A = this chain, B = another copy of it.
């Protein structure tokens, strides 16, 4: 059981963490910190946080766990602010979608505390945002990736793992570099791709007509293009090298299909579509088997 947990950035991710810890009965007190007073008042009204933290000197010294749940672009400044006030036992963790950059910030701004900094990434739907969207069950059955450097103390990793397990998550580990390469492929680039599609369509003179006839396939495939623009700009910049590699790979594959279409080469198109169809069907079947199975 945790005593005091401080959540910096009480939105969907931070608010849902608080609600899930409370649901599990594993936290005594949740303090919320953030830039928006109205938002924090709302979080109190919704029972998400117990109080608002205003004076760094009073907040962090006796905290068991500090969760940084802001956009990644704000984390360096927050680390600088909290560094002088952290208690010797306080564990700091984050929920950022990129890990090499966050680890770099911690090395630069929390050097005294680096063994008690645990870099992590809860994989949960982030196209909604704001404290109003927070839910106690957001993390049920989802994956937490711990992607922290070898210097992090094992007992800090265990404490963070237990907190997220209490929220319903399954815990996975990898290096920060592996994390960033994998999520560039399956999350960051697909977001860029969807943003680029909607931006392209919406920039045309006949955009209104195009949207009128867009149907459920377009709606689903662009759902992530409704994601938080500032958060995703920060993610792209933070994971720039890996995202650029994904763009290169996708451009080459799209160019291959374009050549096939130019050449009336239905066989190449068919093979790519069939391969995609079968791979996705196997993936969905595995997810559904996992959801039914004992490991879920």
Contact = CB atoms under 8 A, between A and B. Distances in A.
Given A196-B257, A226-B280, A186 B210 contact: yes
Interface in A167-182: 172, 182
A7 interface: no
A175 to B, nearest CB: 13
B237 A262 contact: no
Interface stretch (A104-112, A154-162, A216-224): A216-224
Contact of A250 (B196, B272, B276, B277): B196
Q: What's the number of copies of this chain in the assembled complex?
A: 2
Given A217-B190, A237-B261, A249-B200, A273 B195 contact: yes
Contact of A280 (B143, B198, B281, B283): B198
A24 interface: no
B226 A275 contact: no
Given A192-B257, A253-B199, A280 B225 contact: yes
B217 A220 contact: no
A125 B216 CA distance: 7
A229 B202 CA distance: 28
A125 B219 CA distance: 11
Given A200-B253, A202-B279, 15 more contacts: A143-B213, A185-B204, A186-B201, A199-B272, A200-B249, A211-B283, A211-B286, A219-B284, A221-B221, A226-B281, A230-B270, A233-B269, A240-B261, A247-B258, A251-B258
